[in-house]
Amino acid sequence: MSGKFIVFEGCEGVGKSTQLRLLKDYLTESGQPAVFTREPGGTPVAEAVRNLILDKSYEISPVVEAYLFATARADHVRQVIMPALRRGELVVCDRFLSSSYAYQGYARGLGFEMIKQINAAALEDCKPDCTIFIDMDPAISWRKQNGKTITDDRIENESVEFHGKVYEGYKRLAEADPTFVSVAPLPEKSATHRLILEALKKRGLIR
Ligand SMILES: Nc1ncnc2c1ncn2[C@@H]1O[C@H](COP(=O)(O)OP(=O)(O)OP(=O)(O)O)[C@@H](O)[C@H]1O
Ligand SMILES: [Mg+2]
194 Cβ closer than 6 Å to some ligand 1 atom: no
**Would you list the domain boundaries of the chain?**
4-202
154 Cβ closer than 6 Å to some ligand 1 atom: no
The answer for residues whose C-beta is within 8 angstroms of residue 19's C-beta and 6 or more apart is 8, 132, 134, 185, 189, 192, 193, 196
Neighbours of ion ligand 2 (CB under 5 A): 16-17
15 Cβ closer than 6 Å to some ligand 1 atom: yes
Q: What is the CATH number of domain 4-202?
A: 3.40.50.300
Whether the Cβ atoms of residue 168 and residue 41 lie closer than 8 Å to each other: no
- Long-range contacts, 144-151 (Cβ 8 Å, 24+): 144/13, 148/13
Q: Which amino acid is at 66?
A: A
The distance in angstroms from the start CA to the end CA of the chain is 19
- pTM over 0.85, yes/no: yes
Q: Which amino acid is at 165?
A: K
Which has the higher per-residue pLDDT, 77 or 147?
Answer: 77
Q: Which of 7, 18, 158 to mutate to test the pocket of ligand 1 (most atoms within 8 A of CB)?
A: 18
pLDDT on residue 145: 80
pLDDT on residue 156: 87
Cα 163 to Cα 168: distance, rounded to the nearest angstrom: 9
Cα 56 to Cα 155: distance, rounded to the nearest angstrom: 8
Whether the Cβ atoms of residue 106 and residue 20 lie closer than 8 Å to each other: no
Q: Which helix (H) or strand (E) holds 169?
A: helix 160-176
pLDDT of 122 higher than 80:
yes
Peptide bond into 33 cis (omega under 30): no
Kindly list the distances between the CA atom of residue 66 and the CA atoms of 15, 54, 71, 97, 103, in Å, as whole numbers in the listed order. 24, 13, 9, 10, 9
pLDDT on residue 149: 60
Whether the Cβ atoms of residue 85 and residue 1 lie closer than 8 Å to each other: yes
pLDDT on residue 157: 85
Ligand 1 atom closest to Cα of residue 186: 1
pLDDT of 115 higher than 70:
yes
Q: Write out pLDDT tens, residues 52-95.
A: 999 999 999 999 999 999 999 999 999 999 999 999 999 999 99
pLDDT of 199 higher than 70:
yes
Q: What is the mean pLDDT of the chain?
A: 95
Neighbour tally for 86: CB within 10 Å: 11
Q: Write out pLDDT tens, residues 165-198.
A: 999 999 999 999 999 999 999 999 999 999 999 9
Q: Which helix (H) or strand (E) holds 190?
A: helix 189-202
